[in-house]
Every structure is written in structure tokens, then in C-alpha cells.
């Protein structure tokens, strides 16, 4: 199975750590959005889109990338995030980007998120919140999530 993870991780490297752990399970390459040839996404069996969450939103670099994607034609995708705070149902950062991907014709399979060290604004003065996150447990959950996705894609490919 050929996989790719498109990841923006700028503040503390939280999301990149999650991406690297998933990539180890999926045998995927982890890249930043600016280096992806959008036409090449059709060559992949599974594509992940990941970002840290900044003020309850996906990083603008990932949004710009998703907006310029061509029709997905059923390409299987998933999303993953790290955030200093729990996702609020009405402000759902994951729901918004998953909707954008689905509206472009991508098959959105699932989403993963975990807490990450947050040092934005005044939190930096106190060393941030969620120190040590993502931790080994979070990364193990990310690996298990990737394993389930891989099994799901392989089953779907076998059935077709």
C-alpha cells in the first residue's frame, strides 16, 4: 500500500511526532504541503492531512493546500491533529477540513487527534500546557489508528 502524509507542524513539533509514528506503520513519507504535486495524489492508496491547531483552526498552509486540490475521485484520505485544547463541537476544526475534502470528492475515512504541548501567547510564560504531550500513550494510539486504517484500505482493495 502506498501512503503519503501531508503535515504542517510549526510550533513545538507535536504533529510531526504523530505523523512520524503513523508513517512508520504505513510505510509513508511525511512531507510539507508546498512540496506536494497535487496531481500525484492519485498515485497513493491513502493520504493523511495533518496539522497543529492554532486558535481552534487548522494551520493556514494546510488550508491553502486543501483548497487548491483537484477533484479527489474517491482517493482515500484521513486527517490528524494535535491541539492544546479539546475540540469544541460547534467550532470543529476537524469537521471543517473533512467537509472540504469530501466536497472535493475524497473518501474521508477517519480522523485522529491528541493533545500537544501548547505554548501560545501567555502560556509560554508558564512553560505551556500539556507538557510532555504527545506522550508514548498518544503515539501508541496514533500507531493503532494507522494500523486500523491500513487494514481497512487493504480490505477495500481486496474486495474490489
Hey, which CATH number is domain 3-159, 1.10.3720.10, 3.40.50.360, 3.40.50.150, 2.40.37.10? 3.40.50.360
Cα–Cα nearest to 118, from 10, 6, 8: 10
**22 near 142, Cβ under 8 Å?**
yes
Q: Which of 49, 48, 50, 46 is nearest to 2 (CA)?
A: 46
Cell numbers at 3, concatenated: 501512503
As a whole number of angstroms, the distance between CA 81 and CA 115 comes to: 8
Tens of pLDDT along the chain (160 residues) come to: 999 999 999 877 889 999 999 999 999 999 999 999 999 999 999 999 999 887 777 889 999 999 999 999 999 999 999 876 666 665 677 888 999 999 999 999 999 998 776 766 655 556 665 676 789 999 999 999 999 999 999 988 888 7
Amino acid at each position: 500500500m502506498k501512503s503519503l502524509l501531508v503535515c504542517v507542524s510549526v510550533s513545538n513539533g507535536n504533529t510531526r511526532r504523530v505523523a512520524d509514528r503513523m508513517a512508520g506503520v504505513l510505510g509513508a513519507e511525511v512531507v510539507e504541503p508546498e512540496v506536494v504535486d497535487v496531481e500525484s495524489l492519485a498515485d497513493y492508496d491513502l493520504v493523511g492531512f495533518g496539522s497543529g491547531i492554532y486558535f481552534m483552526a487548522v494551520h493556514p498552509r494546510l488550508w491553502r493546500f486543501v483548497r487548491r486540490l483537484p477533484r479527489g475521485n474517491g482517493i482515500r484520505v484521513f486527517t490528524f491533529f494535535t491541539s492544546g485544547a479539546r475540540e469544541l463541537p460547534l467550532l470543529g476544526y476537524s469537521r471543517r477540513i473533512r467537509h472540504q475534502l469530501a466536497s472535493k470528492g475524497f473518501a474521508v475515512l477517519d480522523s485522529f487527534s491528541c493533545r500537544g504541548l501548547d505554548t501560545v501567547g501567555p502560556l509560554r510564560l508558564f512553560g505551556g500546557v500539556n507538557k510532555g504531550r504527545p506522550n508514548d500513550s498518544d503515539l501508541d494510539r496514533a500507531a493503532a489508528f494507522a494500523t486500523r486504517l491500513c487494514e481497512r484500505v487493504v480490505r477495500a482493495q481486496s474486495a474490489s
